[in-house]
Structure 1
Amino acid sequence: MAHWAEAQIVKEFAVKERSGFDQVQLNFSSYKGVSSIDRLYSNKPLMIHAHLSKVNILPEFQYSIDDNTLKATLNHSDVDRESFGKSLSSKLFASAEGDFDHTWEVGLSEDFNYDLNLQFGIGRANVDLSHIKVKKCKINTATADVYLTFQDEAINSVAMDTLLVKVNMGTVDGINVAHANARNLIFDVNYGKVNLNFRKMPHDIGPCLVTTTVGAGAVYIALPSPQYPYIIRINSTAMCRTKLPSYLSELEEKVYVSKGYKKNAANLMEFEIDVSVGSLVLQ
């Protein structure tokens, strides 16, 4: 019996230098694929492993060291020139990682500080920043789902300014996102779902503003313990169904606080939630 398998190209891009910098600025862009970003069990500051199919043009990778910063860029352009309709149907009917043609593994080291700018077209992005020192992280996608994870014991050891996830159409799923130790957490979805879990809150982080915006879709947020200090401001329309836990107190119209709320609490968490059409569930 004959067996046929679609040919793949395996490529590896790595930075071997380990001195002359303590910060890594990574710009990663892929128009299609399943991408995994997580800790690299090596002292190399960056390694990218790719399995590519249907390739006309290979990814472009370059880096330089300047002003104590390693600046690395990987760009894989849309060589197939797919229409939006084709990309949309690919997303809707894909059932396995292979359906997105390419897979990417991006490894980061725990020895450096990172400034991440990640762009994904269609597919899925699995981003696990546990045990990685991230000072800034921006994720932008067209129709790629984003799964953002911090392990229970893994709290970002450096203060992060902004964690931004922006999706045109798709799902944002965040586990222990407060572990990012970010002053600003921003989740912006034009059409789709946002699912965030804040159940396990670190005890030694500062104030945090969580901004969640969905044009049409659903927002589900697992809130911290009622004894944790937080305030929730909701901007919704009549076309948004809202479900809130009974322990929240209403300060004013669509403004709610937890039992542990204190206006000047050092670890105060603020939620600003905007849903135009769909549903909002806080639990």
Structure 2
Amino acid sequence: MAQIVKEFVVEEKNGFDLVQLNFSSYKGVADVNKMYINDPVMIHSHLSKVNILPDFAYTIKDRVLTADLNHSDVEQESFGKSLSSKLFATSEGDFDHTWEVGLSDKYAYLLDLHFGIGQANVDLSNLKVKRCKITTATADVSLNYMKEAGNLTEMDTMLVKVNMGTVDGVNMTHANARNMIFEVNYGKVNLNFEEHFEGDKPCHIATTVGAGAVYILLPAPQYPYLVKINSTAMCRKELPSYLKELSDKVYASKGYQEDAKNLITFEIDVSVGSLVLK
């Protein structure tokens, strides 16, 4: 299949301390990760069946570099059509486009990433990410931090919102975030917090699923954390035996201390489906 190869690069390296990247694509498989060159932003794409080429621009103001890439569909694909495309896709090629988004460890980032349908693979290991917002229509999101390769700066908020799909997160304590918010209307959330990050600040993790499943691998019991559950009778729950119930649907780890500086608080809300904590 004929494809168009496009590359968008910000070659400016001076005059800013922070990079705001706004990336929006209506369809495709995207990989976002660290690259080993010094440009603050590099986006490489393979496009097929193109109705309109991506629009890319960047500016520098008040020591912030703002880079915008927007790839919209002139046919305005309906949600029903996008849903069938997702359900019956058999390979990455069925999503028409691939994206490689490269970032540098030389700069700090604010990320605003939107994916329509497809797959987003986001690895922010060894990068300086101060805030990360990911939204999708029916795209699955895979978040991964390599072992011993966390965020190089403190993150204020990580927000992931998926209308229909799956969110997978590996070594998520390495995000070094004060707040994490995962919202899925229909689908699954699988989060791994087993690899503990030796921080000295609290972290709040909110997970909400309308209909579907939540699976969370908790930190080891000796670390301080709370688990607060808001569920209905239509949600099946499975919790580890070591969690102590402090009050109605509020549980504590063995290492829980109310005044712990590195206390992790999990708030989990599942309306219909299942919740499994390990």
Alpha-carbon distance between aligned partners in 2 of 1:205 and 1:184, rounded to the nearest angstrom: 14
| Counterpart for residue 233 of structure 2 | 238
Measure how far apart 1:81 and its partner are: 2.2
Measure how far apart 1:67 and its partner are: 0.7
**1:263 matched to 2:258:** yes
| Counterpart for residue 85 of structure 2 | 90
Alpha-carbon displacement from aligned partner over 1:11-51 (angstroms, at most 9, x marks no partner): 00001111111210000000000000000110010100000
The DSSP-based 3-state class of the residue aligned with 1:86 is helix
Alpha-carbon distance between aligned partners in 2 of 1:85 and 1:29, rounded to the nearest angstrom: 20
Contact 2:52 2:73 in 1 (8 A): no
Contact 1:29 1:118 in 2 (8 A): yes
| Letter aligned with residue 113 of structure 1 | A
Measure how far apart 1:9 and its partner are: 0.3
Alpha-carbon distance between aligned partners in 1 of 2:162 and 2:199, rounded to the nearest angstrom: 30
| Counterpart for residue 212 of structure 1 | 207
**1:151 matched to 2:149:** no
What TM-score do you get using the length of structure 1 for normalisation?
A: 0.97
Contact 2:43 2:100 in 1 (8 A): yes
| Counterpart for residue 42 of structure 2 | 47
The equivalences for 1:1-283 within 5 A come to 6-283=1-278
Measure how far apart 1:86 and its partner are: 1.4
Computed over aligned residues only, the root mean square deviation of the Cα atoms, in angstroms, reads 0.7
Deviates most, 150-159 or 96-105: 150-159
Assess, with a 3 A threshold, how the Cα gap between structure 1 residues 216 and 24 changes in structure 2: closer, same or farther: same
| Letter aligned with residue 256 of structure 1 | Y
Alpha-carbon distance between aligned partners in 2 of 1:33 and 1:157, rounded to the nearest angstrom: 29
Contact 1:181 1:205 in 2 (8 A): no
Alpha-carbon displacement from aligned partner over 1:125-144 (angstroms, at most 9, x marks no partner): 00000011000000000000
Alpha-carbon distance between aligned partners in 1 of 2:19 and 2:235, rounded to the nearest angstrom: 42
Alpha-carbon distance between aligned partners in 1 of 2:187 and 2:157, rounded to the nearest angstrom: 22
Alpha-carbon distance between aligned partners in 2 of 1:21 and 1:168, rounded to the nearest angstrom: 35
Q: Which runs of 5+ in 2 are unaligned?
A: none
Alpha-carbon distance between aligned partners in 2 of 1:114 and 1:100, rounded to the nearest angstrom: 28
| Letter aligned with residue 264 of structure 1 | D
Alpha-carbon displacement from aligned partner over 1:42-79 (angstroms, at most 9, x marks no partner): 00101000000011210000001111111000000022
| Letter aligned with residue 209 of structure 2 | V
Alpha-carbon displacement from aligned partner over 1:159-207 (angstroms, at most 9, x marks no partner): 1110000000000000011111110000000000000000011112411
Between the aligned residues of both structures, percent identity stands at 70
| Letter aligned with residue 169 of structure 2 | G
The DSSP-based 3-state class of the residue aligned with 1:178 is helix
Measure how far apart 1:85 and its partner are: 1.5
The DSSP-based 3-state class of the residue aligned with 2:153 is coil
Alpha-carbon distance between aligned partners in 2 of 1:67 and 1:14, rounded to the nearest angstrom: 21
Alpha-carbon distance between aligned partners in 1 of 2:176 and 2:233, rounded to the nearest angstrom: 34
Alpha-carbon distance between aligned partners in 2 of 1:19 and 1:99, rounded to the nearest angstrom: 40
What TM-score do you get using the length of structure 2 for normalisation?
A: 0.99
Alpha-carbon distance between aligned partners in 2 of 1:226 and 1:37, rounded to the nearest angstrom: 33
